[in-house]
Structure 1
Protein backbone atom coordinates (compact mmCIF):
# COMPACT_ATOMS: atom_id res chain seq x y z
CA UNK A 1 0.00 0.00 0.00
CA UNK A 2 2.78 2.43 0.91
CA UNK A 3 4.55 1.51 -2.31
CA UNK A 4 1.43 2.42 -4.33
CA UNK A 5 1.18 5.82 -2.58
CA UNK A 6 4.87 6.55 -3.23
CA UNK A 7 4.44 5.51 -6.87
CA UNK A 8 1.41 7.79 -7.30
CA UNK A 9 3.36 10.70 -5.70
CA UNK A 10 6.30 10.12 -8.10
CA UNK A 11 3.93 10.05 -11.08
CA UNK A 12 2.32 13.33 -9.95
CA UNK A 13 5.74 15.00 -9.60
CA UNK A 14 6.84 13.70 -13.02
CA UNK A 15 3.58 14.98 -14.57
CA UNK A 16 4.03 18.44 -13.00
CA UNK A 17 7.64 18.64 -14.23
CA UNK A 18 6.59 17.50 -17.72
CA UNK A 19 3.83 20.13 -17.86
CA UNK A 20 6.26 22.82 -16.71
CA UNK A 21 8.82 21.90 -19.40
CA UNK A 22 6.17 21.73 -22.14
CA UNK A 23 4.93 25.22 -21.17
CA UNK A 24 8.48 26.59 -21.48
CA UNK A 25 8.83 25.09 -24.96
CA UNK A 26 5.63 26.65 -26.29
CA UNK A 27 5.97 30.01 -24.59
CA UNK A 28 6.69 33.09 -26.73
CA UNK A 29 9.70 34.96 -25.35
CA UNK A 30 9.33 37.99 -27.60
CA UNK A 31 8.93 41.71 -27.19
CA UNK A 32 8.29 44.46 -29.70
CA UNK A 33 11.35 46.17 -31.16
CA UNK A 34 11.57 49.87 -30.56
CA UNK A 35 12.07 50.52 -34.29
CA UNK A 36 11.80 48.56 -37.51
CA UNK A 37 14.78 50.23 -39.21
CA UNK A 38 18.10 51.52 -37.98
CA UNK A 39 18.41 55.35 -38.03
CA UNK A 40 20.59 55.14 -41.17
CA UNK A 41 18.09 52.87 -42.97
CA UNK A 42 15.17 55.07 -41.95
CA UNK A 43 16.89 58.27 -43.11
CA UNK A 44 17.83 56.66 -46.43
CA UNK A 45 14.29 55.34 -46.95
CA UNK A 46 12.94 58.85 -46.40
CA UNK A 47 15.40 60.26 -48.96
CA UNK A 48 14.49 57.60 -51.56
CA UNK A 49 10.77 58.26 -51.09
CA UNK A 50 11.29 61.99 -51.53
CA UNK A 51 13.56 61.43 -54.54
CA UNK A 52 11.11 59.23 -56.48
CA UNK A 53 8.00 61.19 -55.50
CA UNK A 54 4.73 59.51 -56.48
CA UNK A 55 6.12 57.58 -59.45
CA UNK A 56 7.19 54.39 -57.64
CA UNK A 57 6.49 52.48 -54.45
CA UNK A 58 9.49 51.74 -52.25
CA UNK A 59 9.57 48.21 -50.83
CA UNK A 60 12.04 47.42 -48.04
CA UNK A 61 14.02 44.28 -47.22
CA UNK A 62 12.90 42.26 -50.20
CA UNK A 63 14.19 38.71 -50.70
CA UNK A 64 15.97 38.14 -54.01
CA UNK A 65 13.70 35.17 -54.70
CA UNK A 66 10.66 37.49 -54.40
CA UNK A 67 11.99 39.58 -57.29
CA UNK A 68 13.37 36.84 -59.56
CA UNK A 69 12.05 33.57 -60.91
CA UNK A 70 13.77 30.83 -62.88
CA UNK A 71 13.61 30.81 -66.67
CA UNK A 72 11.62 28.03 -68.26
CA UNK A 73 13.55 24.99 -69.44
CA UNK A 74 16.43 25.73 -67.06
CA UNK A 75 18.63 22.70 -66.41
CA UNK A 76 17.49 21.11 -63.10
CA UNK A 77 20.99 21.03 -61.63
CA UNK A 78 21.65 24.66 -62.60
CA UNK A 79 18.22 25.71 -61.28
CA UNK A 80 18.81 24.02 -57.92
CA UNK A 81 22.26 25.59 -57.58
CA UNK A 82 20.93 29.06 -58.45
CA UNK A 83 18.05 28.78 -55.99
CA UNK A 84 20.39 27.66 -53.20
CA UNK A 85 22.61 30.70 -53.85
CA UNK A 86 19.62 33.07 -54.08
CA UNK A 87 18.01 31.85 -50.87
CA UNK A 88 18.89 34.14 -48.00
CA UNK A 89 19.93 37.04 -50.26
CA UNK A 90 18.08 40.23 -49.49
CA UNK A 91 17.80 43.63 -51.17
CA UNK A 92 17.54 46.68 -48.94
CA UNK A 93 15.07 48.57 -51.15
CA UNK A 94 13.23 47.83 -54.39
CA UNK A 95 11.40 50.42 -56.47
CA UNK A 96 8.26 48.94 -58.02
CA UNK A 97 5.77 50.30 -60.51
CA UNK A 98 2.67 51.71 -58.81
CA UNK A 99 0.40 50.37 -61.54
CA UNK A 100 1.38 46.68 -61.59
CA UNK A 101 4.04 46.29 -58.85
CA UNK A 102 6.71 45.28 -61.39
CA UNK A 103 10.25 45.54 -59.93
CA UNK A 104 12.03 48.47 -61.57
CA UNK A 105 15.23 49.05 -59.58
CA UNK A 106 17.04 47.34 -56.70
CA UNK A 107 18.91 49.55 -54.21
CA UNK A 108 21.39 48.47 -51.59
CA UNK A 109 22.70 50.72 -48.84
CA UNK A 110 26.43 50.32 -48.18
CA UNK A 111 27.95 51.49 -44.92
CA UNK A 112 30.96 50.70 -42.75
CA UNK A 113 29.22 51.18 -39.43
CA UNK A 114 29.66 48.33 -36.99
CA UNK A 115 32.42 45.72 -36.86
CA UNK A 116 31.71 44.10 -40.23
CA UNK A 117 29.79 46.87 -42.00
CA UNK A 118 26.80 46.36 -44.25
CA UNK A 119 27.21 45.11 -47.82
CA UNK A 120 30.66 46.65 -48.09
CA UNK A 121 31.70 43.89 -50.50
CA UNK A 122 29.87 43.66 -53.80
CA UNK A 123 27.86 40.45 -54.15
CA UNK A 124 28.50 39.47 -57.76
CA UNK A 125 25.83 36.77 -57.66
CA UNK A 126 23.13 39.31 -56.73
CA UNK A 127 24.31 41.83 -59.32
CA UNK A 128 24.59 39.16 -62.03
CA UNK A 129 21.19 37.66 -61.24
CA UNK A 130 19.48 41.06 -61.36
CA UNK A 131 21.32 42.01 -64.54
CA UNK A 132 20.25 38.79 -66.27
CA UNK A 133 16.63 39.58 -65.36
CA UNK A 134 16.93 43.16 -66.64
CA UNK A 135 16.60 44.82 -63.22
CA UNK A 136 19.17 47.58 -62.58
CA UNK A 137 21.05 47.41 -59.28
CA UNK A 138 22.40 50.49 -57.50
CA UNK A 139 24.70 50.41 -54.49
CA UNK A 140 24.75 53.73 -52.65
CA UNK A 141 27.27 54.42 -49.92
CA UNK A 142 25.75 55.90 -46.78
CA UNK A 143 27.23 59.24 -45.84
CA UNK A 144 26.15 62.53 -44.35
CA UNK A 145 25.42 65.46 -46.62
CA UNK A 146 23.47 63.69 -49.36
CA UNK A 147 20.83 65.85 -50.96
CA UNK A 148 17.60 64.59 -52.49
CA UNK A 149 18.95 65.64 -55.90
CA UNK A 150 22.00 63.35 -55.44
CA UNK A 151 19.80 60.33 -54.75
CA UNK A 152 17.45 61.25 -57.60
CA UNK A 153 20.41 61.59 -60.03
CA UNK A 154 21.76 58.17 -59.00
CA UNK A 155 18.34 56.55 -59.47
CA UNK A 156 17.75 58.27 -62.83
CA UNK A 157 21.17 57.16 -64.08
CA UNK A 158 20.13 53.55 -63.49
CA UNK A 159 16.69 54.08 -65.04
CA UNK A 160 17.93 55.27 -68.46
CA UNK A 161 16.77 52.07 -70.28
CA UNK A 162 13.31 52.36 -68.67
CA UNK A 163 13.06 56.06 -69.57
CA UNK A 164 13.93 55.27 -73.20
CA UNK A 165 11.29 52.55 -73.24
CA UNK A 166 8.76 55.04 -71.85
CA UNK A 167 9.77 57.55 -74.54
CA UNK A 168 11.01 60.04 -71.96
CA UNK A 169 14.58 60.07 -73.31
CA UNK A 170 15.75 60.30 -76.93
CA UNK A 171 17.22 57.09 -78.34
CA UNK A 172 20.20 59.02 -79.72
CA UNK A 173 21.62 62.46 -79.01
CA UNK A 174 19.82 65.26 -80.81
CA UNK A 175 21.69 66.50 -83.91
CA UNK A 176 23.59 69.70 -83.26
CA UNK A 177 24.88 72.47 -85.47
CA UNK A 178 28.19 71.09 -86.79
CA UNK A 179 29.90 74.48 -86.68
CA UNK A 180 29.17 74.75 -82.92
CA UNK A 181 30.02 71.15 -82.09
CA UNK A 182 33.43 70.53 -80.58
CA UNK A 183 34.34 67.07 -79.40
CA UNK A 184 34.97 66.93 -75.66
CA UNK A 185 37.65 64.27 -76.00
CA UNK A 186 40.40 63.83 -78.54
CA UNK A 187 41.81 60.47 -79.61
CA UNK A 188 44.66 59.42 -77.33
CA UNK A 189 46.51 57.42 -79.98
CA UNK A 190 46.65 57.44 -83.77
CA UNK A 191 44.16 55.25 -85.58
CA UNK A 192 45.87 52.74 -87.88
CA UNK A 193 44.59 52.62 -91.45
CA UNK A 194 43.08 49.34 -92.63
CA UNK A 195 44.64 49.77 -96.11
CA UNK A 196 47.89 48.04 -96.83
CA UNK A 197 50.89 50.25 -97.46
CA UNK A 198 52.42 49.81 -100.91
CA UNK A 199 55.92 48.44 -100.80
Structure 2
Protein backbone atom coordinates (compact mmCIF):
# COMPACT_ATOMS: atom_id res chain seq x y z
CA UNK A 1 0.00 0.00 0.00
CA UNK A 2 2.78 2.40 0.99
CA UNK A 3 4.70 1.47 -2.18
CA UNK A 4 1.69 2.36 -4.33
CA UNK A 5 1.39 5.74 -2.62
CA UNK A 6 5.08 6.43 -3.13
CA UNK A 7 4.88 5.47 -6.83
CA UNK A 8 1.82 7.70 -7.26
CA UNK A 9 3.64 10.65 -5.69
CA UNK A 10 6.65 10.05 -7.95
CA UNK A 11 4.39 10.02 -11.02
CA UNK A 12 2.75 13.30 -9.94
CA UNK A 13 6.14 14.97 -9.43
CA UNK A 14 7.37 13.75 -12.82
CA UNK A 15 4.17 14.99 -14.52
CA UNK A 16 4.44 18.42 -12.89
CA UNK A 17 8.12 18.64 -13.91
CA UNK A 18 7.28 17.73 -17.52
CA UNK A 19 4.59 20.41 -17.66
CA UNK A 20 6.97 23.01 -16.25
CA UNK A 21 9.68 22.09 -18.75
CA UNK A 22 7.28 22.34 -21.70
CA UNK A 23 5.44 25.47 -20.54
CA UNK A 24 7.67 28.09 -22.28
CA UNK A 25 7.36 26.36 -25.64
CA UNK A 26 3.58 26.10 -25.25
CA UNK A 27 3.19 29.74 -24.24
CA UNK A 28 5.64 31.15 -26.82
CA UNK A 29 5.81 28.69 -29.74
CA UNK A 30 8.14 30.83 -31.84
CA UNK A 31 11.50 30.67 -33.55
CA UNK A 32 13.62 33.28 -35.29
CA UNK A 33 12.99 33.80 -38.98
CA UNK A 34 16.07 33.39 -41.12
CA UNK A 35 15.33 36.51 -43.17
CA UNK A 36 13.34 39.65 -42.41
CA UNK A 37 12.75 40.33 -46.13
CA UNK A 38 12.32 38.23 -49.24
CA UNK A 39 15.22 38.22 -51.75
CA UNK A 40 13.22 40.58 -54.01
CA UNK A 41 12.53 42.98 -51.15
CA UNK A 42 16.19 42.94 -50.08
CA UNK A 43 17.31 43.68 -53.63
CA UNK A 44 14.90 46.60 -54.04
CA UNK A 45 15.71 47.96 -50.59
CA UNK A 46 19.39 48.10 -51.56
CA UNK A 47 18.54 49.87 -54.85
CA UNK A 48 16.18 52.38 -53.20
CA UNK A 49 18.67 53.07 -50.43
CA UNK A 50 21.42 53.69 -52.98
CA UNK A 51 19.13 55.86 -55.11
CA UNK A 52 17.72 58.15 -52.41
CA UNK A 53 19.47 57.24 -49.17
CA UNK A 54 21.05 60.67 -48.81
CA UNK A 55 17.75 62.45 -49.40
CA UNK A 56 15.14 60.31 -47.62
CA UNK A 57 14.84 57.70 -44.92
CA UNK A 58 13.57 54.42 -46.34
CA UNK A 59 10.96 52.64 -44.23
CA UNK A 60 9.86 49.10 -45.10
CA UNK A 61 6.51 47.30 -44.75
CA UNK A 62 4.63 50.29 -43.41
CA UNK A 63 1.00 49.91 -42.42
CA UNK A 64 -1.36 52.12 -44.43
CA UNK A 65 -2.87 53.33 -41.14
CA UNK A 66 0.58 54.65 -40.16
CA UNK A 67 0.70 57.13 -43.04
CA UNK A 68 -2.94 58.24 -43.38
CA UNK A 69 -5.40 59.56 -40.82
CA UNK A 70 -9.06 60.51 -41.02
CA UNK A 71 -10.01 64.15 -41.40
CA UNK A 72 -10.96 66.05 -38.25
CA UNK A 73 -14.38 66.92 -39.66
CA UNK A 74 -15.36 63.24 -39.97
CA UNK A 75 -17.82 61.88 -37.43
CA UNK A 76 -16.64 59.04 -35.17
CA UNK A 77 -18.67 56.32 -36.90
CA UNK A 78 -17.40 57.24 -40.37
CA UNK A 79 -13.84 57.60 -39.07
CA UNK A 80 -13.96 54.17 -37.44
CA UNK A 81 -15.32 52.62 -40.64
CA UNK A 82 -12.63 54.26 -42.78
CA UNK A 83 -9.82 53.17 -40.44
CA UNK A 84 -11.13 49.61 -40.34
CA UNK A 85 -10.70 49.44 -44.13
CA UNK A 86 -7.00 50.25 -43.75
CA UNK A 87 -6.53 47.22 -41.52
CA UNK A 88 -4.27 44.57 -43.01
CA UNK A 89 -3.09 46.85 -45.83
CA UNK A 90 0.55 47.82 -45.99
CA UNK A 91 3.03 49.53 -48.29
CA UNK A 92 6.30 47.87 -49.29
CA UNK A 93 8.38 51.04 -48.87
CA UNK A 94 7.73 54.60 -47.73
CA UNK A 95 10.29 57.36 -48.24
CA UNK A 96 10.21 59.87 -45.39
CA UNK A 97 11.71 63.34 -45.03
CA UNK A 98 14.82 63.09 -42.87
CA UNK A 99 13.93 66.17 -40.84
CA UNK A 100 10.50 65.27 -39.47
CA UNK A 101 9.95 61.73 -40.83
CA UNK A 102 6.83 62.85 -42.70
CA UNK A 103 5.87 60.46 -45.54
CA UNK A 104 6.90 61.78 -48.96
CA UNK A 105 6.16 58.94 -51.36
CA UNK A 106 4.95 55.32 -51.12
CA UNK A 107 6.36 52.49 -53.24
CA UNK A 108 4.83 49.09 -53.90
CA UNK A 109 6.43 46.20 -55.78
CA UNK A 110 4.24 44.55 -58.40
CA UNK A 111 4.88 40.87 -59.03
CA UNK A 112 4.21 39.40 -62.46
CA UNK A 113 2.87 36.05 -61.27
CA UNK A 114 -0.82 35.65 -60.54
CA UNK A 115 -0.78 32.83 -58.01
CA UNK A 116 0.84 32.32 -54.66
CA UNK A 117 2.62 34.70 -52.32
CA UNK A 118 4.45 36.56 -55.09
CA UNK A 119 1.27 37.70 -56.80
CA UNK A 120 -0.46 39.47 -53.94
CA UNK A 121 -0.01 42.96 -55.39
CA UNK A 122 -0.40 42.23 -59.08
CA UNK A 123 -3.84 43.82 -59.09
CA UNK A 124 -4.05 47.44 -58.01
CA UNK A 125 -5.74 48.01 -54.67
CA UNK A 126 -7.95 50.97 -55.47
CA UNK A 127 -8.66 51.67 -51.81
CA UNK A 128 -4.94 52.04 -51.09
CA UNK A 129 -4.45 54.24 -54.16
CA UNK A 130 -7.50 56.34 -53.29
CA UNK A 131 -6.49 56.76 -49.66
CA UNK A 132 -2.97 57.87 -50.61
CA UNK A 133 -4.32 60.19 -53.29
CA UNK A 134 -6.72 61.80 -50.81
CA UNK A 135 -3.84 62.24 -48.35
CA UNK A 136 -1.69 63.67 -51.18
CA UNK A 137 0.99 61.03 -50.85
CA UNK A 138 2.34 59.97 -54.28
CA UNK A 139 2.13 56.23 -54.91
CA UNK A 140 4.52 54.40 -57.24
CA UNK A 141 4.03 50.78 -58.31
CA UNK A 142 7.19 49.26 -59.74
CA UNK A 143 7.17 46.01 -61.70
CA UNK A 144 9.50 43.36 -60.32
CA UNK A 145 12.16 42.37 -62.83
CA UNK A 146 15.91 41.99 -62.87
CA UNK A 147 18.30 44.52 -64.32
CA UNK A 148 17.21 47.70 -62.53
CA UNK A 149 19.89 50.13 -61.44
CA UNK A 150 19.75 52.67 -58.63
CA UNK A 151 19.54 55.38 -61.31
CA UNK A 152 16.44 53.70 -62.83
CA UNK A 153 14.74 53.73 -59.44
CA UNK A 154 15.68 57.35 -58.80
CA UNK A 155 14.37 58.47 -62.19
CA UNK A 156 11.07 56.70 -61.55
CA UNK A 157 10.70 58.36 -58.14
CA UNK A 158 11.76 61.78 -59.47
CA UNK A 159 9.28 61.53 -62.36
CA UNK A 160 6.42 60.76 -59.96
CA UNK A 161 7.34 63.58 -57.59
CA UNK A 162 7.71 66.00 -60.52
CA UNK A 163 4.27 65.08 -61.87
CA UNK A 164 2.73 65.67 -58.42
CA UNK A 165 4.39 69.09 -58.15
CA UNK A 166 3.08 70.02 -61.59
CA UNK A 167 -0.45 68.91 -60.67
CA UNK A 168 -0.23 70.95 -57.46
CA UNK A 169 0.93 74.00 -59.40
CA UNK A 170 -2.12 73.72 -61.67
CA UNK A 171 -4.50 73.59 -58.70
CA UNK A 172 -5.67 77.11 -57.74
CA UNK A 173 -4.95 78.16 -54.17
CA UNK A 174 -8.35 79.88 -54.13
CA UNK A 175 -11.29 78.76 -56.27
CA UNK A 176 -11.47 80.79 -59.47
CA UNK A 177 -7.86 81.98 -59.37
CA UNK A 178 -6.28 79.46 -61.73
CA UNK A 179 -3.52 81.09 -63.68
CA UNK A 180 -3.33 84.06 -61.30
CA UNK A 181 -1.50 82.69 -58.27
CA UNK A 182 1.95 81.23 -58.80
CA UNK A 183 4.26 79.66 -56.26
CA UNK A 184 7.90 80.18 -57.32
CA UNK A 185 8.93 77.14 -55.25
CA UNK A 186 6.82 74.73 -57.32
CA UNK A 187 8.10 73.52 -60.68
CA UNK A 188 5.81 74.56 -63.52
CA UNK A 189 7.11 72.11 -66.10
CA UNK A 190 9.15 68.90 -66.10
CA UNK A 191 12.81 68.98 -66.99
CA UNK A 192 12.19 66.03 -69.33
CA UNK A 193 9.17 64.30 -70.86
CA UNK A 194 7.30 62.34 -68.21
CA UNK A 195 5.47 59.88 -70.49
CA UNK A 196 4.46 56.44 -69.23
CA UNK A 197 7.29 55.09 -67.14
CA UNK A 198 8.07 51.52 -68.26
CA UNK A 199 8.82 50.63 -64.64
CA UNK A 200 5.52 51.80 -63.26
CA UNK A 201 2.49 49.52 -63.18
TM-score by length of 2: 0.71
Cα 1:129–1:16 change in 2 (3 A) is farther
Cα 1:167–1:139 change in 2 (3 A) is farther
Specify every segment of 5 or more residues in structure 1 that has no aligned partner in the other structure, as ranges. Answer: 175-199
Give runs of aligned pairs for residues 1-199 of structure 1, distance below 5 A: 2=1, 10=8, 13-14=11-12, 16-18=14-16, 20-21=18-19, 23-27=21-25, 28-112=28-112, 115-116=115-116, 117-160=119-162, 161-162=164-165, 170-171=187-188
Deviation at 1:130, TM superposition (A): 1.0
Does the CA contact (< 8 Å) of 1:61 and 1:93 recur in 2? yes
Larger radius of gyration: 1
Deviation at 1:138, TM superposition (A): 0.8
In structure 1, how many angstroms separate the alpha carbons of the residues matched to 2:184 and 2:18?
68
Deviation at 1:13, TM superposition (A): 3.6
TM-score by length of 1: 0.72
CA RMSD of aligned residues (A): 3.0
Cα 1:54–1:32 change in 2 (3 A) is same
Cα 1:75–1:112 change in 2 (3 A) is same
In structure 1, how many angstroms separate the alpha carbons of the residues matched to 2:184 and 2:52?
18
In structure 2, how many angstroms separate the alpha carbons of the residues matched to 1:52 and 1:168?
21
Does the CA contact (< 8 Å) of 2:165 and 2:186 recur in 1? no
In structure 1, how many angstroms separate the alpha carbons of the residues matched to 2:15 and 2:157?
60
Does the CA contact (< 8 Å) of 1:95 and 1:106 recur in 2? yes
Cα 1:114–1:6 change in 2 (3 A) is farther
Does the CA contact (< 8 Å) of 2:113 and 2:122 recur in 1? no
Match of 1:159, SS? helix
Deviation at 1:21, TM superposition (A): 3.5
Cα 1:53–1:11 change in 2 (3 A) is same
Does the CA contact (< 8 Å) of 1:112 and 1:118 recur in 2? no
